[in-house]
Amino acid sequence: MAALAEARVEQVAREDLVMFVNACFSCTGQREFYGDARGQSVSIEFLHQYILGNYRRLYARTLAAGINHFNQAQILLNLLASGSPVEARDKAEEGALIAAALRALPPQRAFRVLESLRSRRINNRRARAVARDYVKGRGNLAFDAVKYRAKLRAAVSHGHLKLEGELGPFLFHGWKKRVFTQPLLESFRRAHYAQEALYELPYTVAEGLAVKHGIPRDVFLQRIEPRLTAAERLRLQESSARERGTPPPVELGRASLTKLALYVLALPLESRRARQPELQAALEQAAARVLRKSPSRLGRVAAILDNSYSSSGSWEKRRRPLGVALATHYLLSSAAREYRAWWTGPVEDALLVSARGQTDIATPLLDALAWGADLVVIVSDGYDNDPPNAVAELTRVFRAKLDPRRRTALVHVNPVFDSEGYAPRSFGTAVPTVGVRDAEDVPTVLGFARFAEGAASLSELEAYLAARVEALLARDAQGRQGEAGASRDVAPAEEGES
């Protein structure tokens, strides 16, 4: 009887954790096609509190599981808000995880976490130490002081940090008070009076000052061009082309895969058709770069990609489900030995895909099974309506009657979090469902799929997380060593923001 209860406890713990990690892969608290932002944020908030209260150690370790930035930030804040664990070993591990995860976040998100410490009134010794270490570890703090001025000021004042040199006066006494010797700070001061100085500042800071000086947008865009980061270049392609005729030059192949896919989907069909070879090469290049970072070799792979109307996402996440599907298409096509894709609404070329029509996953799934794939990856939001529930039934019968030995692996990758179910919506029990935010994470979540299926035990899941924690900490230590060796005065970092 006791053994039975134990097994049940273990099963519950495993299911809870899998649900949580899955939610952390996909949810960002933003509005989705079917769910509103309020429901999303309430749902994910609840999950965080539930897991933090019941499985604290695993909650902290989830930081290393490859989850999205929004949920990493939430975990960091929740851990810092709830004091440190009692056991010394846990304490050390959690501290190291928090520091490493914070450093691995893009700077604007990391500073946002520090700023949120103030708004959530979290001010304990550990939180102050974390803020201090992070700020101390930044390579070019003067640059941060200009670009993330309000956030850095909030972190410094809330954590009682001491800043060296001119930064303290710059942040707190106001830039009007004096002349600075640090060139960037001085540029920022001068840019309030002289237009020329403005072009030495980061784009986001210069943009507001340009409006203040009344500089025409086309002149501004032309002259600020050398200061643009890669993400800003990609973002400004269309609007800049409208304003001044030429877009800022960008190396499309170096952009992140999902962002590139979203950019392609935002283009009108004619220009997609006209620039077809260029865009295709860029997407393939980006996919190859992802695979270099996390290599995965796959056999005969079939992809079922959902381009129904619901993949158009929401006002806040425009075409994201479709973008993830498109990016996954390129990723799998370069990772697999043999590859074929089926879209729910047939398209002549993957680049020309658009979100239209009903969700009929059963027909392409049958085609894919008939083709004889080793691995079938379904990228969909989980709402199949032609006919409803067909995929769940089809896969159930397929597993029971046609493939009881599991020769064909089925995985459902879902970019949409369903707030009612506290998890990405699934296609029944025969297909494991994993959440995803960026297609770059697909190799990671494919590794996670065996836990979603329920085949692996809790101890295996714990071992998996522990291994990822070690990898994260090793990466972090390596990065810090490299940073200490390199010169401190680095050029403005290329910052991703996802």
Residues forming contacts to other proteins in the complex (CB under 8 A) are 33-34, 308-310, 345, 356-359, 362-363, 366, 369-370, 385-390, 392-394, 396-398, 400-402
414 is written with which tokens?
A: 């879902």
| Residue 390 C-beta: closest distance to other proteins, Å | 6
Q: What is the DSSP string of 248-317?
A: PP--GGGS-HHHHHHHHHHS-HHHHHHTHHHHHHHHHHHHHHHHHHS---EEEEEEEE--SGGGGB-SSS
| Residue 310 C-beta: closest distance to other proteins, Å | 6
Q: Note the residue count of the chain.
A: 498
Q: Please, which residue, 114 or 391, has the CB nearer to other proteins?
A: 391
How far apart CA 403 and CA 107 sit, in angstroms, is 48
Query: Phi/psi at 140 (nearest 5 deg)?
Result: -130, 85
| Residue 345 C-beta: closest distance to other proteins, Å | 7
How far apart CA 423 and CA 418 sit, in angstroms, is 6
Q: Please, which residue, 193 or 315, has the CB nearer to other proteins?
A: 315
Through-space distance between the first and last CA atoms of the chain, rounded to whole angstroms: 49
| Residue 439 C-beta: closest distance to other proteins, Å | 23
Q: Please, which residue, 145 or 394, has the CB nearer to other proteins?
A: 394
**Partners of 40 in the β-ladder:** none
Helix (H, G, I), strand (E, B), or coil: what is residue 161? Answer: coil
Q: Which helix (H) or strand (E) holds 414?
A: strand 409-414
229 is written with which tokens?
A: 């980061």
| Residue 425 C-beta: closest distance to other proteins, Å | 12
| Residue 309 C-beta: closest distance to other proteins, Å | 4
Q: Please, which residue, 297 or 401, has the CB nearer to other proteins?
A: 401
| Residue 138 C-beta: closest distance to other proteins, Å | 45
Q: Please, which residue, 68 or 311, has the CB nearer to other proteins?
A: 311
| Residue 316 C-beta: closest distance to other proteins, Å | 15
Helix (H, G, I), strand (E, B), or coil: what is residue 440? Answer: helix
Over its C-alpha atoms, the chain yields an Rg (Å, rounded) of: 24
| Residue 385 C-beta: closest distance to other proteins, Å | 5
Q: Please, which residue, 286 or 325, has the CB nearer to other proteins?
A: 325
- Helix, strand, coil shares of the chain, percent, nearest 5, are 60, 10, 30
Contact 381, 33 (CB under 8 A): yes
How far apart CA 416 and CA 422 sit, in angstroms, is 11
DSSP code of 171?
Answer: I
- For residue 169, give Cα distances in angstroms to 95, 132, 176, 212, 315: 31, 18, 10, 24, 41
How far apart CA 301 and CA 379 sit, in angstroms, is 13
Q: Please, which residue, 223 or 340, has the CB nearer to other proteins?
A: 340
Helix (H, G, I), strand (E, B), or coil: what is residue 413? Answer: strand
| Residue 325 C-beta: closest distance to other proteins, Å | 15
| Residue 367 C-beta: closest distance to other proteins, Å | 9
How far apart CA 85 and CA 199 sit, in angstroms, is 48
* 387 preceded by a cis bond (ω within 30 of 0): yes
| Residue 362 C-beta: closest distance to other proteins, Å | 5
Identity at 203, one-letter amino acid code:
Y
Contact 116, 464 (CB under 8 A): no
Identity at 320, one-letter amino acid code:
R
Among residues 394, 372, 496, the alpha carbon closest in space to that of 107 is found at: 496
